[in-house]
């Protein structure tokens, strides 16, 4: 007789004891104990490189631990036989931080790959219909079709498909869903839809682990919080019994409330340095029939609105315009540096070292005094950025893939900010970056802006808009509103996005 998950709610589903794993000299996990119960949503939090993804990889059979035991539903689930396939057979599914869809295939074909047994004949139609049903359930109004090719979708839409594919029912049971930063590229609306769905999922007696650096989400959806630090679990507590400050300090990061700081910095810029340089327009662009966009030297300009409404296209057009100035409606004075949010596709050189990935953006400076690259300066500068951004690695010559996701993103920041480009274009660049580093990067952006650099910054995180001097709201490929100073608020951005969509 099958007992429903709801009837078993509260029972232990997963137990890990003493899980340890090293990569060369790096001890990623140093003996972790973890218990997951049926019917709960557990938030797994910690700084970049704390060991969260390594723990997840061990739970779902992608990595073998060096030491420790794992039990799933009371049965030993470790040893050589524990693999991704075996874990899936037992009811465990995982959405990894880096997307795993095949870019050259359609949504239906990607669905079929994940569940090959699901459809024998007319499989394309059936697999597409299955995925569409899940998309409609979790993300109503998603606007996707089964024959859309993944590679042609913006990263936010790809992330939606990845999540929906994992939640699609199949021949195997679904007891535990592990989501590693599932909202990192989603706009506020899609993220809220997913969080609401997670609550209904655990209400049915299923279990969910959510890894995110967005503390708002953690407090909105989880029942319990497990904090990791340097490869160990340092705190496990019911969410209702902790708060933002205690959580951040358990992660080992200084507690700061960013919002007042951001507003103060904005005021300082508006009334100080920028007065002398605001007249120098650094970036100018018009969108078809929309409001024209401009940015002065020393300004931090935000691009907001629902994901995929033209913000990334604008950044790419500005980058292109910087290479042949004055020819059309787009004008960018001086060079640009780009911080990619979709680091897998547009960011990292996967076969290069950490240092090379950083310094490739600085070649002009490194060759300023001779046609050859100044290797000593290259090394020194890379070292400075490593310390400035707290990059967690024993050696800068290791491959970039040895870094955790958030640490890879820090390298992309260093590549752009360490260059001499006067205009920095940022495409939702905080994907996977921990709260402490984010705070440091916000301060760095402000400092650089005071020095005369211009930032054009697309973000899906509302809180980040408070770090901008002015914000342009996008809808359907054009700018539909401009907000400045105290007018910058989540409510105004949402209202402008939806007014336009409804018009
Ligand atoms: N394949 C690998 N080779 C070498 N080192 C690795 C490898 N995978 C992970 N590490 C190291 O293990 C440590 C833990 O990484 P992990 O990805 O688990 O961190 P994380 O908490 O998920 O970080 P983030 O929040 O940035 O995703 C890091 O120092 C990382 O550099």
pLDDT tens per residue across span 12-53: 899 999 999 999 888 999 999 999 999 999 999 999 889 999
DSSP 43-70: EEEESTTSSHHHHHHHHTTSS--SEEEE
DSSP 106-126: BHHHHHHHH-GGG-SSSHHHH
The total of other beta-carbon atoms located within 10 Å of residue 280's CB is 12
User: Mean pLDDT throughout 360-388?
Assistant: 84
Q: 44 alpha carbon to ligand 1 midpoint, in Å?
A: 15
Q: For 11, what's the count of Cα atoms within 13 Å in the CB-facing half-sphere?
A: 16
23 in contact with ligand 1, CB cutoff 6 A = yes
pLDDT tens per residue across span 108-156: 999 998 887 665 777 888 899 999 999 999 999 999 999 999 999 988 8
Q: What's the sign of the alpha-carbon dihedral 391, 392, 394, 397? A: negative
Q: Residue 243, SS3? A: coil
Distance of CA 159 to CAs 63, 181, 340, Å? Answer: 23, 10, 16
* Cβ atoms of 33 and 233 closer than 8 Å: yes
pLDDT over 50 (residue 277): no
pLDDT at 487: 87
pLDDT over 80 (residue 81): no
Q: 408 alpha carbon to ligand 1 midpoint, in Å?
A: 10
Q: 401 alpha carbon to ligand 1 midpoint, in Å?
A: 9
ipTM above 0.95, yes or no: yes
Backbone angles phi, psi at 92, to 5 degrees: -105, 130
Beta-bridged to residue 470, according to DSSP, are 301, 484
pLDDT over 80 (residue 238): yes
Sequence-separated (6 or more) residues with CB below 8 Å from residue 421: 334, 335, 336, 337
404 in contact with ligand 1, CB cutoff 6 A = yes
pLDDT at 317: 86
The total of other beta-carbon atoms located within 10 Å of residue 318's CB is 22
* Distance between start and end Cα atoms, the chain: 55
* Tokens found for residue 90: 């037992």
At residue 441 the predicted structure's pLDDT band, cuts being 50, 70 and 90, is confident
Please, what is the average pLDDT of the chain? 85
Give all domains of the chain, ordered by start, each with its CATH number. 1-91+172-252 (3.40.50.300), 102-171 (no CATH), 258-335+422-502 (3.40.50.300), 352-418 (no CATH)
Q: Which residue has the higher pLDDT, 358 or 406?
A: 358
pLDDT over 50 (residue 270): no
The whole-angstrom separation of Cα 48 and Cα 490 is 27
Quote the percentage of the chain above a pLDDT of 70: 87
Residue count (the chain): 503
pLDDT over 60 (residue 291): yes
* Cβ atoms of 302 and 470 closer than 8 Å: yes
pLDDT over 80 (residue 502): no
* Cβ atoms of 459 and 430 closer than 8 Å: yes
CA 351 to mean position of chain CA atoms: 22
pLDDT over 60 (residue 242): yes
- 58-67, 110-119, 232-241 — which is least confidently predicted? 110-119
Q: 19 alpha carbon to ligand 1 midpoint, in Å?
A: 15
pLDDT over 70 (residue 315): yes
pLDDT tens per residue across span 150-159: 999 988 899 9
**Among 184, 189, 109, 117, which residue's Cα sits nearest to residue 151?**
109
- 119-123, 310-314, 357-361, 457-461 — which is least confidently predicted? 119-123
The total of other beta-carbon atoms located within 10 Å of residue 472's CB is 29
Counting from 1 in the atom list of ligand 1, the atom nearest the Cα of 409 is 26
432 in contact with ligand 1, CB cutoff 6 A = yes
The whole-angstrom separation of Cα 449 and Cα 277 is 11
User: Mean pLDDT throughout 170-182?
Assistant: 91
pLDDT over 70 (residue 249): yes
Counting from 1 in the atom list of ligand 1, the atom nearest the Cα of 51 is 18
pLDDT over 70 (residue 265): no
Q: 396 alpha carbon to ligand 1 midpoint, in Å?
A: 14
């Amino acid at each position: 007789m099958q007992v429903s998950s709801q009837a078993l709610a509260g029972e232990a589903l997963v137990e890990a004891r003493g899980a340890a794993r090293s990569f060369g000299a790096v001890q990623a996990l140093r003996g972790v104990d973890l218990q997951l119960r049926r019917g709960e949503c557990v938030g797994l939090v910690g700084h970049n490189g704390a060991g969260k993804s390594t723990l997840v990889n061990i739970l779902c059979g992608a990595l073998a631990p060096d030491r420790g035991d794992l039990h799933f539903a009371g049965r030993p689930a470790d040893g050589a036989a524990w693999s991704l396939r075996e874990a899936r057979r037992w009811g465990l599914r995982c959405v990894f931080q880096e997307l795993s869809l095949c870019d050259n295939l359609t949504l239906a074909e990607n669905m079929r790959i994940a569940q090959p047994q699901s459809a024998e004949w007319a499989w394309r139609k059936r697999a597409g219909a299955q995925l569409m049903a899940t998309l409609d359930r979790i993300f109503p109004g998603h606007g996707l079709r089964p024959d859309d090719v993944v590679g042609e979708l913006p990263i936010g839409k790809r992330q939606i498909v990845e999540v929906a594919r994992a939640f699609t029912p199949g021949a195997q049971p679904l007891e535990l869903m592990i989501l590693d930063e599932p909202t990192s590229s989603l706009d506020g609306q899609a993220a809220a839809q997913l969080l609401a769905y997670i609550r209904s999922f655990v209400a049915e007696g299923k279990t969910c682990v959510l890894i995110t650096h967005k503390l708002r989400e953690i407090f909105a959806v989880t029942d319990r919080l497990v904090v990791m630090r340097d490869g160990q679990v340092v705190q496990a507590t019911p969410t209702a019994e902790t708060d933002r400050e205690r959580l951040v300090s358990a992660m080992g990061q200084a507690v700061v409330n960013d919002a007042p700081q951001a507003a103060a910095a904005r005021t300082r810029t508006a009334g100080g340095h920028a007065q002398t340089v605001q007249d120098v327009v650094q970036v100018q662009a018009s969108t078809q029939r929309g409001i024209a966009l401009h940015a002065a030297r020393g300004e931090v300009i935000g691009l907001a609105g629902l994901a995929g409404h033209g913000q990334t296209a604008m950044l790419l057009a500005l980058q292109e315009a910087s290479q042949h100035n004055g020819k059309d409606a787009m004008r960018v004075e001086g060079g640009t540096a780009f911080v990619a949010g979709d680091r897998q596709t547009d960011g990292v050189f996967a076969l290069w070292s950490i240092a090379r990935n950083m310094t490739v953006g600085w070649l002009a400076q490194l060759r300023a005094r001779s046609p050859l690259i100044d290797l000593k300066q290259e090394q020194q500068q890379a070292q400075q950025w490593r310390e400035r951004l707290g990059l967690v690695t024993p050696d800068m010559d290791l491959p970039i893939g040895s870094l955790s996701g958030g640490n890879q993103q820090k390298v992309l920041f260093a590549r752009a900010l360490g260059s001499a480009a006067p205009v920095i274009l940022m495409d939702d660049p905080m994907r996977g970056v921990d709260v402490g580093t984010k705070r440091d990067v916000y301060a760095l952006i402000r400092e650089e802006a005071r020095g005369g650099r211009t930032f054009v910054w697309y973000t899906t995180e509302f809180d980040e808009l408070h770090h901008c001097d002015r914000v342009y709201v996008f809808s359907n490929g054009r700018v539909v509103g401009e907000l400045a100073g105290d007018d910058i608020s989540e409510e105004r951005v949402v209202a402008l996005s939806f007014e336009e969509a409804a018009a």
